[in-house]
Chains A and B, each alone.
Chain A
Amino acid sequence: MPIRRQSVAGTTYAFDGLVEVMARATPLRSGDQLAGCAAESDAERAAAAWVLADLPLTTFLDEQVVPAEDDEVTRLILERHDAEAFAPVAHLTVGDLRDHLLEVATTPGAASTYAALAPGLTPEMVAAVSKIMRNQDLVLVAGAAEVRAGFRTTIGLPGRIATRLQPNHPTDDAAGIAAATLDGLLMGCGDAVIGINPATDSPRTTADLLHLLDDMRQRYEIPMQSCVLSHVTTTVDLIEQGAPVDLVFQSIAGTQAANRGFGVTVPMLLEANEAGRSLQRGTVGDNVFYLETGQGSALSADAHLGTGGKPVDQQTLETRAYGLARVLEPLLINTVVGFIGPEYLYDGKQIIRAGLEDHFCGKLLGLPMGVDVCYTNHAEADSDDMDVLLTLLGVAGAAFVIAVPGADDVMLGYQSLSFHDALYVRQVLGLRPAPEFEAWLAGLGMADADGRVLAVDLEASPLLGIASGGRP
């Protein structure tokens, strides 16, 4: 791309290459400032947005932000690009694409139009358009899109929002994990997955926790999937040893180098997907991957440089991770948006914006997108910011959110949503749990005919026996 110039308020700004335009046009965030690729001023950011809006979408097929010869994620994105699906928008600019997406949102067949378009869009095109969309645009388009996936529950149905129940414990204590799981189930959570971040990556611990959850599932006939979020290689080994693996977990990022930092390659992930599917443990679908991502992961691994050795902005790199993710056809994928810290997303405003961007970009690319609505104690954010983001994501049709007891993850040391927050968003927006899970709750008298989760006395609960989990 030749050097592009744009004048704003009497000053002319020059942008050298696609990487620079993308970064300078990105709404302000601390991670891009840390990487040294953010616009120097609001006027420069506005100038870059004009330039970006004028770029033909075909630019993104001709010019790469991360060179294909250095990066297997770029090669995968290019190999999987569907020219036929792209044809209807091939003549558009980035600005035109925004208008088109908003037009489509007003039509009756919006969801299927987006779904047909998805394979024709590259992650970089989607990242680019998101940068010139306001928060309401990100909500509106994502809200009109639909992406479904299934294993033992169905994820992504309209009018529903699922939850990952995250019963983490600092020492992986079985009784403590069982107690937190019981608390979440009584609050109607766990329909996306009951997923434990283990305190260690020991295969033995992972296997023990898998058995704990699988025994619980079978004993109480819960339509659910479990996951212990160990490294993908640990999980694949456990599959070979016959452990009850429902979902295969892995953190992924948008560059080959960042994925190397996570200890994964594309072929490794494809093989793990096959290994998970070979068990055929799903009942309503065979999506077996659970993926996590987050803006800033490439920069934190010093794996964020692109074409010309220039730093690529963190939101574009995040969206490239979704390009990799969709090849794996996951059941669940979420951005851990406020987890990484204020050096990447400084405050509530930046976290909210990033959460909406990630959700929109993932969903438009065809992913069952969820969000870990969260923050750390050194970020300028609090529960009020999380309330705003959760409400917006509910309106935007997020597939699922993460919930921990009282919003306090005592293992990872950060704040996510509480089980109560999940009930709040379902109540205020009339959303219901995943249908299979809702039917199970209703069967036990824990939900009413509208899917509302009823208050249950612990000692009268049919699930009380879960509390002795891990203690025969």
Chain B
Amino acid sequence: MSTPDPWAALRRTTQARIGLGRAGNSLPTRRVLEFATAHAAARDAVHEPLDVEAVSAQVAELGLGEPVVLTSRAETRGDYLRRPDLGRQPASLEPLAGCEQGADVALVLADGLSSRAVADHGAALLGALAKALDGRRIAPPVLATQARVALGDHVGEALGARFVVVVIGERPGLSVADSLGVYLTMHPRPGRADSERNCISNVHPPDGLTYESAARVAAALVVGADELGRSGVDLKDRSGTELAG
């Protein structure tokens, strides 16, 4: 006969690591290993390089054109983490030279702080975005490594796109290491402030927001920004989509 854990009912109220027990004054072995495992997964998500070939192949299958691969000025992961300024700038925009100008929306898939999120959810979310934006001219997708959100401003400007939508790996937490964020910026150009963007975060089905919900919000934001003439803090999501996971 096993004794029911008296903390079980309380654990239903919070994800916090409550009622862990004690080995003397310290954490029991099982709890120490659980924590170390979660931290290891989060660190791997940050440090594992994005498998560009595999993700490119997935994105190519979406029928949006052959993906263009860019990298930022941060050459190593260490540079990327230490120098956010370098991660915001493309090493070269040359690969975009042959692309057609003047799309409505440029899509950028960036590794950000979680290559795992991009590998697990990136192509599927791009597909959902393209579907939700049906009827708009979408530029060939861009895959960017060692990239931060503002790198998309350079891409959007180079492509002459009215919007840039950057899909990027979010900073891993101990419980979720594969979450994507979506950042929408109207009239992208280098120097745009964060307050001029709209963000949809926590995209990681099945626990987080679904691809379709995130895409629906993004499409609604595009409509709203066209009406308002700008993206950013003055633009509110009126799609009615429930954002809470």
Q: Is the interface of B mostly helix, strand, loop or mixed?
A: loop
Q: Check: A405 CB closer than 8 A to any chain B CB.
A: yes
Residues of A within 8 A of B17 (CB): 405-408, 418
Size bin of chain A's contact surface = 35 or more
Q: Check: B15 CB closer than 8 A to any chain A CB.
A: yes
Q: Check: B14 CB closer than 8 A to any chain A CB.
A: yes
Q: Check: B22 CB closer than 8 A to any chain A CB.
A: yes
Q: Is the CB of A415 within 8 A of B174?
A: yes
Q: Check: A58 CB closer than 8 A to any chain B CB.
A: no
A376 smallest CB distance to B (angstroms) = 7
Q: Is the CB of B173 within 8 A of A179?
A: no
Residues of A within 8 A of B85 (CB): 34
CB under 8 Å from chain B, chain A span 168-193: 168-171, 173, 175-180, 182-183
Residues of B within 8 A of A376 (CB): 171
Q: Is the CB of B16 within 8 A of A34?
A: no
Q: Check: A271 CB closer than 8 A to any chain B CB.
A: no
Name B residues whose Cβ lies closer than 8 Å to a Cβ of A.
6-7, 9-11, 13-20, 22, 25-27, 31, 35-36, 38-39, 42-43, 45-46, 81-85, 113, 171-175, 244
A406 to B27, CA, bound (A): 8
Q: Check: A459 CB closer than 8 A to any chain B CB.
A: yes
A427 to B83, CA, bound (A): 40
> Considering the complex of A and B, which 5 residue pairs feature the smallest CB-CB distances, nearest first?
A406-B17, A176-B14, A423-B25, A377-B42, A179-B10
Interface residue from A176, A378, A420, A457 paired with B25 (Cβ < 8 Å): A420
A421 smallest CB distance to B (angstroms) = 9
Residues of A within 8 A of B81 (CB): 342-343, 346, 378-379
Residues of A within 8 A of B172 (CB): 377-378
Interface residue from A168, A346, A406, A453 paired with B82 (Cβ < 8 Å): A346
CB under 8 Å from chain B, chain A span 397-412: 404-408, 410
A105 to B18, CA, bound (A): 41
Residues of A within 8 A of B9 (CB): 467
Residues of B within 8 A of A343 (CB): 81-84
Interface string of A404-434 (1 = CB under 8 A from B): 1111101001010010100110110000000
Interface string of A278-305 (1 = CB under 8 A from B): 0000000000000000000000000000
CB under 8 Å from chain B, chain A span 145-184: 167-171, 173, 175-180, 182-183
Q: Is the CB of B39 within 8 A of A415?
A: yes
Q: Is the CB of A33 within 8 A of B82?
A: yes
